[in-house]
Amino acid sequence: MPMNFRAFLESQKPAYTMDLDQYKTKADPRWTEILNRFPELLQREIIDERKNGDEEDIKEISPWKLESPVPVTTPIKDLLTAKANLNAISRSPSEIVGIINQTWNLNVPSGKVYDRTPGRYSEYSKMSGDTAKPSVVVDDVVYWGVGRFIAALLRGDEILRVWKIRT
């Protein structure tokens, strides 16, 4: 189940080693205001995905409302009801899509693979889901951490730890 906070941070190096306060002193105050609405770990995930905190990022993330101050578990079956999540699966390599279709009794077609490192899904699936950072789910769609979601599907996990956000 959940590991302690220090062990979690250690497992996430180097992504989680930046001086967050120092970063915020250089950021647009509107971006800092948005970041400050979220727990530190989610702030770091947001910065990892949107380093610049530019106008587009501010517009994109400003409507986000966090449902829980800590990551929650969500049933993977529920995530499979969102068309956008099925589309994300289709953008995985065809052999990965085939395994997921068979494991989850789905019929997701293979599509174009955009991922620069598609081999990561197989590698991630060999790791325990307990050590993965939470994915970010916005309005029931896996927004960031799609690789973690795909790996969980490959492992046959029943749940995924997520930051659950509504707009």
67 part of a folded domain: no
Q: How far apart are CA 20 and CA 50, in angstroms?
A: 14
- Give residue 23's domain range: 5-62
Q: How far apart are CA 124 and CA 160, in angstroms?
A: 14
Q: Are residues 85 and 140 in the same domain?
A: yes
Q: Are residues 81 and 100 in the same domain?
A: yes
Q: What domain count does the chain have?
A: 2
Q: Are residues 56 and 99 in the same domain?
A: no
pLDDT for 119-149, tens place per residue? 888 888 888 888 889 999 999 999 999 999 9
pLDDT for 26-69, tens place per residue? 999 999 999 999 999 999 999 999 988 999 999 999 999 999 99
For all residues of the chain together, what is the average pLDDT? 89
What pTM was estimated for this model as a whole?
A: 0.85
Closest by CA to 148, choosing from 6, 138, 130, 166, is 130
Q: Are residues 87 and 156 in the same domain?
A: yes
The one-letter amino acid code at 83 reads K
Query: Which of the two residues, 116 and 34, has the higher pLDDT score?
Result: 34
Q: Are residues 50 and 78 in the same domain?
A: no
Q: Are residues 50 and 132 in the same domain?
A: no
Q: Are residues 121 and 156 in the same domain?
A: yes
Tokens of 57: 């990022």
The pLDDT value given to residue 40: 94
Q: Are residues 95 and 29 in the same domain?
A: no
Q: How far is CA 103 from CA 58, 77, 97, 99, 159, in A?
A: 39, 12, 10, 6, 14
